[in-house]
């Protein structure tokens, strides 16, 4: 699954994954992270998510990353924002207030782009990627966040054999296996959403859960980063 797959979806308007409201899981669980205003929050594969506005309204510095120029331009236009724009080696950068979006490939970003992100909000990025790409994504993104980062990961859990992704199913055991090297993933909410997703039921999916995880760096990694001489 390459970049053209997602760019084509935005060109054709096949963006059913976009929600025209703030995801309820965000205001329900974000405050418990107790992040200070001004904390930089990474929103990977952000599309034109309204969740970025909610985060910015709480005083956070939002850094979105998105492949599609259409998605980025629609985000700012539809929300009445007039961004400044400038080119960078990683892609064009759009900024309005405390929201910045890099229009580029998240895998092309280097460690410097992640190091100041002390928080992450991953609603549909990890599950948008096929299993063969997920480990690389986790290492590249989560492995390079600030040493004391906290955040939310929202996944789907359903019988993968019943429907081809994306979005891909990510059972709890798979989440733990992916993040074990550097991050703690603690399930904090699970909801049966099959009745609200008729497209899944129409494809023969018999159960569908939305799952929220609280993410943070494992304690031994934090201590390793803060030892003298490291």
Are 64 and 101 contacting, i.e. CB atoms less than 8 angstroms apart? yes
Task: Tell me if 6 is assigned to a ligand binding site.
Answer: no
Distance CA 60, CA 143 (A): 21
Cβ atoms < 10 Å from Cβ of 55: 25
* Element housing 151 (H / E): strand 150-157
Of 25, 27, 69, 21, residue with least CA distance to 47: 69
Q: Check the annotation: does 197 bind a ligand.
A: no
Whether 78 has a binding-site annotation, put simply, is: no
Q: Is 34 annotated as belonging to a binding site? A: no
Among residues 213, 195, 3, 35, the alpha carbon closest in space to that of 103 is found at 3
Helix (H, G, I), strand (E, B) or coil at 207: coil
Total residue count of the chain as it appears in this document: 230
Output the known binding site for S-adenosyl-L-methionine.
10, 45, 66, 123
Output the known binding site.
10, 45, 66, 123
């Amino acid at each position: 699954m390459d970049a053209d797959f997602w760019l084509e979806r935005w060109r054709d308007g096949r963006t059913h994954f976009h929600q025209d409201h703030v995801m309820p899981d965000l205001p329900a669980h974000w405050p418990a992270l107790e992040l200070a205003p001004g904390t930089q929050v990474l929103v990977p594969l952000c599309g034109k998510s309204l969740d970025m506005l909610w985060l910015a309204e709480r005083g956070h510095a939002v850094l979105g990353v998105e492949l599609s120029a259409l998605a980025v331009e629609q985000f700012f236009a539809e929300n009445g924002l007039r961004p400044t724009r400038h080119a960078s080696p990683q892609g064009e950068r759009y900024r309005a207030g405390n929201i910045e979006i890099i229009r580029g490939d998240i895998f092309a970003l280097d460690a410097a782009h992640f190091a100041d992100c002390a928080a992450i909000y991953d609603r549909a990025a990890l599950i948008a990627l096929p299993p063969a790409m997920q480990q690389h994504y986790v290492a590249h993104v989560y492995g390079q966040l600030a040493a004391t980062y906290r955040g939310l990961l929202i996944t789907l859990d359903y019988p993968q054999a019943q429907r081809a992704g994306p979005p891909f199913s990510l059972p709890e055991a798979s989440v733990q296996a992916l993040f074990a090297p550097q991050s703690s993933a603690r399930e904090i909410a699970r909801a049966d959403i099959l009745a609200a997703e008729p497209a899944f039921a129409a494809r023969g999916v018999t159960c569908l859960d939305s799952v929220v995880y609280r993410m943070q760096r494992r304690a031994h990694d934090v201590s390793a980063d803060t030892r003298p001489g490291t």
